[in-house]
A and B are shown apart, each in its own frame.
Chain A
Amino acid sequence: MKYEIQPTLPPPASMVGVIGWMRKHLFNGPINSVATIVVGYFLISFLVPTIQWIFIDADWVGDSRDACTSGGACWVFINNRLDQFLYGFYPEAEHWRVQTAFILLIGSIIWLVMPQTPKKGLVAALLLVVYPVVAFFLLYGDIFGLETVETHLWGGLSLTLVLAVVGIVASLPLGILLALGRQSEMPIVKSVCVIFIEIWRGVPLITVLFMASVMLPLFFPEGMSFDKLLRALIGITLFQSAYMAEVIRGGLQAIPKGQYEAADALGLGYWQKMILIIMPQALKLMIPGIVNTFIALFKDTSLVLIIGLFDVLAIGQAANQDPKWIGYSTESYLFVALLFWVFCFSMSRYSQQLERQLHTGH
């Protein structure tokens, strides 16, 4: 008698491949099967007409609304106003300035995000300190023979980016100071910081913007007038710095106590301890939190339309009022939503990936 191990039989057809996957993930049990069918039915009955409306039946090219005949989305509307959506009322001959500023920004961000590039610290410092100045003169002009472009002409996506980038860059140093102050042992410094942080965090951004546009001019001597954009930026920065301070405080608290004590034991002073020991470790932990605040700020910049600035959403609102294009508001909202979504979603993915990288597990 000869014993021989039989070759393993292939798994039954119902357990592998598409059918097996569906059995495991969609139809494992009666309740799940019913749920799959019900949810699937609703999804299909919603998605199919939507996709048909957005892509298949849509009109893409043309000059006026006469080109929109097929009954789907009228992307001609967006196409015709794309320049406005991106640059607002910035003079067309000067668009290259906005583009240059934008490319510089994207370039340095890519440099920072890529894992293998050298000199990250230098690039980050340039981005935080030198770039804002360069970008301001690029956009505003009035230097090196560049034509002056008043801020009321700024608008569209470029204004949204200006608001968000300035808001985050300016609120970072203020936030660091506030966070350090909140942890200080000096009672007056501590209470001033706590009051400042809690007040700004407790009120909605819209009242802050109202305050910046209505009350700020009252606070300064007669004749000292501020540009509307600058007022909005001051409001946003103050508001944002309170949130930033809380993120930074979180990072500071995550540093083990031993680090502080070791620095004290080495005889380092307060600023030496903070700059050399605590901050380098804490900043790394804070990056995901800072990115998350940035996402929130980026979405919140849309509120400036209430005080009369033309960010990308306000441009969309204005476009909807155009009598030549009445009835296509859905298209413009979808387009603006897509712009915001692409920015926010990619940033949140980046911050999640960072969190995973930094989570080394203590």
Chain B
Amino acid sequence: MSSDISNSGHNPEGGPAKPKAPPQNKPKFWNDPKKRSLLFQVLLLSALGFVFYSIIDNTLTNLEQRGITTGFDFLTEEAGFGIAMSLIDYTEASSYGMTFIVGLMNTILIALMGIFAATILGFLLGVARLSDNWLISKASTIYIETFRNIPLLLQIFFWYYAVLRTLPHPRQSMEFFGTFLNNRGFIVPAPVAEDGFGVVVFGFFAALIGSWLISRWSKKRQELTGQQFPVFWASLGLIVGIPLVLFMLSGMPLGLDHPELKGFNFKGGITVIPELIALWFALSIYTAAFIAETVRAGILAVSHGQTEAATALGMSKAKTLRLIVIPQALRVVIPPLTSQYLNLTKNSSLATAIGYPDLVNVFAGTTLNQTGQAIEVIAMTMAVYLTLSLLTSTFMNWYNSRIQLTER
């Protein structure tokens, strides 16, 4: 669209200029759009250059006065603080660079968990809102209108301070089927892989590759002969069956580490910290409301004529949904859906308000306060989110160009 708005002003000469034209008829240079835009851009560049120069100059002076050295050397220094939750080995003796990795991994973990839950909940709610059952559609509408109009931070606080922190102490934990819930978190038995579990993992990946091959083969066969093959069920059978059979054959090489109450806290098992649960609940519930609206809009965007045409062709209701409605609805749903995922990832930075050790809390919080390297730390943090969002928009552009309707 950018070509729509041209900067060309009124050209007083009009048409191809005659070389013989007397010099006084030549437009003044500020009336010539080309020269004017060149001048304007030079001005803009020099203004920007001046702003950046003075910012950098001031910053360097200020940093020098405070005795802060610039550069990324601090990343190798010892951090000396503990982190409540880490997916990799981390001790107080680890470096500041490690705090970045730990924080980043925790951010990715909460983002993936949130995306998973919000997608399921959002799709259910979006479909429910279109249901012809009055009660279900109204319940879904009320859910959506309530949760998307309340700030996310408030929801996080509610789950954390008003719900999870008021749970009983570890000694009075609530117990369900070997798992425990108390104000220190949710404690579940930890699976422990024994010798031979690698075979099961191998079988799982082999099944994944196998089902991909089957789907390719069946697509080719359908194009050639028109015969269909139940790819979904075959793949499901492979992916569930092969690991299960291998698991049984290798003598169930998986133990459980049951948590036990020792003194004032639990030993063993995996503890899911309450900060993670609160953040996960709030993010999923909040984002699901937005995803539901996206899904609803997508389904409504498929015109009724499509469904009717499918019925006229004699397709069953399930097939109509699977082959006609969903592929067309996805075209509308996926771009805003990806941007909701991105929002969720960015919103996960609110973790810092309740102390979930994500990137912003650990790195832009504790590390920044200890080292004082504000510029480097903030720049690295912003770069992470920026990379994520650029990757997302690249994917979206690629997807949009792939699914674009080719009109003939």
A344 engages B149 (CB within 8 Å)? yes
Does B360 lie within 8 Å of A206, measured CB to CB? yes
Does chain A have a CB within 8 A of B311? Answer: no
Q: Beyond A207-B349, A303-B350, is A218–B63 a contact (Cβ under 8 Å)?
A: yes
Q: Is B312 an interface residue (CB 8 A)?
A: no
Interface size of B by Cβ–Cβ distance < 8 Å? 61
Instruction: Find out whether the CB atom of A185 lies under 8 angstroms from the CB atom of B5.
Output: yes
- Contacts A/B (CB < 8 Å), 15 sampled: A185-B5, A189-B44, A202-B382, A206-B360, A210-B381, A211-B378, A215-B378, A217-B62, A218-B62, A219-B58, A269-B10, A302-B151, A302-B153, A333-B158, A340-B154
Q: In the complex, which of the residues B61, B154, B346 contacts A313, with contact meaning CB atoms closer than 8 Å? A: B154
Provided the pairs A39-B135, A313-B157, A341-B146 are in contact, do residues A222 and B61 lie with their beta carbons within 8 angstroms?
Answer: yes
Inter-chain CA distance A355–B158, complex, in Å, is 33
In the complex, per-residue mask of B368-403: 1 if CB is within 8 Å of any chain A CB, else 0: 100000110010011001101110010000000000
Within 8 A of B (CB), among A290-326: 295, 299-300, 302-303, 305-306, 313, 317, 320
Whether the pair B37, A313 counts as a contact (CB closer than 8 A) is: no
Contacts of A60 in B (CB 8 A): none
Q: Does B48 contact A (CB under 8 A)?
A: yes
Give the docked Cα–Cα distance between A62 and B62 (Å).
54
Contacts of B48 in A (CB 8 A): 192
- Give A320 to B38 CA distance when docked, in angstroms: 59
Q: For the complex, what is the distance from the CA of A204 to the CA of B153, rounded to whole Å?
A: 13
Contact assessment for B10 and A39 in the assembled complex, using a CB-CB cutoff below 8 Å:
no
Given contacts A198-B389, A313-B153, A348-B149, 4 further A-B contacts (CB under 8 A): A40-B135, A198-B390, A270-B7, A329-B161
Contact B154 A186, beta carbon cutoff 8 Å: no
Q: Which residues of B contact A284 (CB under 8 A)?
A: none
**Interchain nearest-CB distance for B296 vs A (Å):** 14
* Docked complex Cα distance between A125 and B386 (Å): 36
Contacts across chains A and B counted by CB atoms under 8 Å: 177
Give the residue of A207, A302, A345 whose beta carbon is less than 8 angstroms from that of B145: A345
Which B residues are CB-close (under 8 A) to A320?
161
CB < 8 Å neighbour of A260 from B4, B41, B161: B4
Does A183 contact B2, Cβ atoms closer than 8 Å?
A: yes
Residues of chain A within 8 A (CB-CB) of B10 are 267-269
In the assembled complex, A228 has its CB within 8 A of some CB on chain B = no
**How far, in Å, is B144 (CB) from chain A's closest CB?**
11
Q: How far is the CA of A263 from the CA of B2 in the complex (A)?
A: 16
Closest to B31 in A: A269
Cβ of A7 under 8 Å from chain B: no
Instruction: Give the residue name and chain of the A residue nearest to B369 (CB).
Output: A214
Q: Does B55 contact A (CB under 8 A)?
A: yes
Q: In angstroms, how far is the closest chain B Cβ from the Cβ of A199?
A: 7
Q: A50 an interface residue at 8 Å Cβ cutoff?
A: no
Complex CA distance for A300 and B286, rounded to whole angstroms = 13
Which of B10, B139, B153 has the most A CB atoms < 10 Å from its CB? Answer: B153
Which interface residue of B150, B152, B374 has the most chain A CB atoms within 10 A?
Answer: B150
> Looking at the complex, which of A8-16, A24-32, A96-104, A149-157 is the stretch in contact with chain B?
A24-32
Residues of B within 8 A of A192 (CB): 44, 48
A206 to B356, CA, bound (A): 15
User: A124 — which chain B residues lie within 8 A by C-beta?
Assistant: none
CB–CB B132/A28 < 8 A: yes
How far is the CB of B398 from the nearest CB of chain A, in Å? 17
Any A CB within 8 A of the CB of B22? no
Residue of A nearest to B152 (CB): A299
Q: Does B8 contact A (CB under 8 A)?
A: yes
Encoded as 1 (CB less than 8 Å from any B CB) or 0, chain A from 155 to 173 comes to 0000000000000000000
Residue A19 at the chain B interface, CB threshold 8 Å: no
How long is the Cα–Cα vector from A185 to B5 in the complex, in angstroms?
7
User: Which of the residues B3, B41, B158 comes within 8 Å of A189, measured between beta carbons?
Assistant: B41
A140 to chain B, nearest CB (A): 26
Interface membership of B404, Cβ < 8 A:
no
A253 touches B (CB below 8 Å): yes
Say yes or no for A257: interface residue by CB 8 A criterion: yes
A300 to B59, CA, bound (A): 29
Q: Is the CB of B378 within 8 A of A184?
A: no
